[in-house]
Structure 1
Amino acid sequence: MTRADWIAADWGTTNLRLWAMSAEGRVLHEAQSDDGMGRLKREEFEPALLRLAGDWLAPDRVTQVFACGMVGARQGWVEAPYRSVPCAPTTPGGFVEAPTHDPRVRVHILPGLSQSSPADVMRGEETQIAGLLANEPGFDGVICLPGTHSKWVRVSAGEVVSFQTFMTGELFALLSTQSVLRHGIAGDGWDEGAFLDALSDTISRPERMAAKLFSLRAEGLLHGLSPETARARLSGLLIGAELSGAKPYWLGQEIAIIGAEAVSAAYGAALRAQGAAPRLVPAGRLTLTGLVTAHAAQRSQT
């Protein structure tokens, strides 16, 4: 097996993904596991890394590992302090070295970003942003990163200027699986018209959202509202509230959406219904591109 010149790691709460890289930034091997930060004790991070990457390591030299994501959280391998915006999404010299016992590896963890007022933090998304800027160095506008905790990020002159987080994805998961609404919400399926109608309802009358949420349960009991339609309406109500709150970010701006295909499509449809013209950027290898950029910047400083 070809040995890695260095290793890129995307280490989230639920999953670990590694790439064995050549010195030129070419992918030699890939591996992934469910050894995310959320299931590991501090002393278990290094063994989890070695289980995947052990065969990539040369016995006679140190292999550098560059890792982003929740591995650098307070509950992770080692805390990588946040960098305050405005700043570039990644920068050389800001990495934190994790303690290791195996002499074949040296692990560098990328810090997240923070904002003092209103208080906000991100960890992992900054690397995707760095990947986008590596591909589009002239980008000036807003990046939407939908997910469990959606981020709206204003970018200008290669820097993250400000950002705001919305717990939309987590609220959807909680309401659809742990609230009274769970009895009438499908696990999949979609109704685009119902989604857009609910979106419009919330944007025009946000103070009615809590009542509209319970109406999903009532209409299921009284009028046979289908679980698929209820799912789409729940999504529309919550994303509508998010778009209302994020309006100062996206109104009149160039908007790039980075995320999983289905949720990105929903956000794209929602924004187009409000007269915006977002474009969907495949998340694909943006994190890897960001890690390659961080590694190259660090190497240029040494």
Structure 2
Amino acid sequence: MSPICHPPFFRPPTGDPSAAAWAQFVTALLTAAEPAGNPELHLLDSGQELIKVGNRRLLCVWSPTGRTQEVPEDLTQKSLRHMASRRRSDSPPPAICCNADLSDAQRARCRKIISDIELLTPRHWAGECRKFSTVSAPWFRPVLPVAEPLWQTAATDAKVQLRTTRLTVFNWRKPLILHIHPRFCDAILQVTVSPLMTVDQLLETLIHLLKMPGSKTFEEDNCVVKLSWSLKYNNQAALLDTPLQKLKVQPETAIEVDARVLMRDQHRQKENAHDVIYCADGTWHTRSRSDRFNTAEEKFRTLMSHACDASLRQIRTVQ
């Protein structure tokens, strides 16, 4: 599949996806395309990044989700006016380097400020990524198609009824191709599922596919550790009984699956204490965490990491 230039597909080698990271990515591709051009990054008063390649100016515009609606139009127009006021008469047409497709209205507003502005949108950058794959590859998460036999085996292990995961002449619906990003691993999984499958069934199948550990007791730390799973699409948590078709997943988007580490303090439970459950991300606790909890969490995350790595190797092998 073509590279998708927004999170979670777009993943800079260092740091989080951001406007600055997008500008660095564009600069890397421009350098690969024109080594003698020596692209230079400059931060404008608008907060946007401008790339200078000789006499040409390229404005980097970032949409956090890749959606047209989240393109920062006010900042972009301010930057374009700045570029127009300083443009030399003999300079080549400037460009906008954007990770989202601009609407016709947005294009018209840009061209009202600079009539010959060139719009370099995701299709252009996907082509550049294919052309300079060694440069672009580190900036994207790997997308791994999950073979149907592996997915069906995981569904069986999860005791998910096959009639809700396998399409037949009796329950035919157009299959859904989903991109799933488990936030605890680097890869994005591509699976083909029935739209009749529910969020709960998807999570259970995914847990077995990645061989995630169940609850684990660490006697030496007096802790019981387990995972609490959730699925989000468009930053909205989905109810467990929701059929996948009702999520209305759009192309080039990903479903995010998160796992929170919950810990039960065996020692405090024996003392009949009430505040015994802790969440590893700090969002659910009633007193400061002890070193025992930190140690138990680290051990459990190591188990998760090893299980996930082994599962991803298997997915890569069985294509």
Provide TM-score, normalisation by structure 1.
0.35
Provide TM-score, normalisation by structure 2.
0.33
| Higher-helix-fraction structure | 1
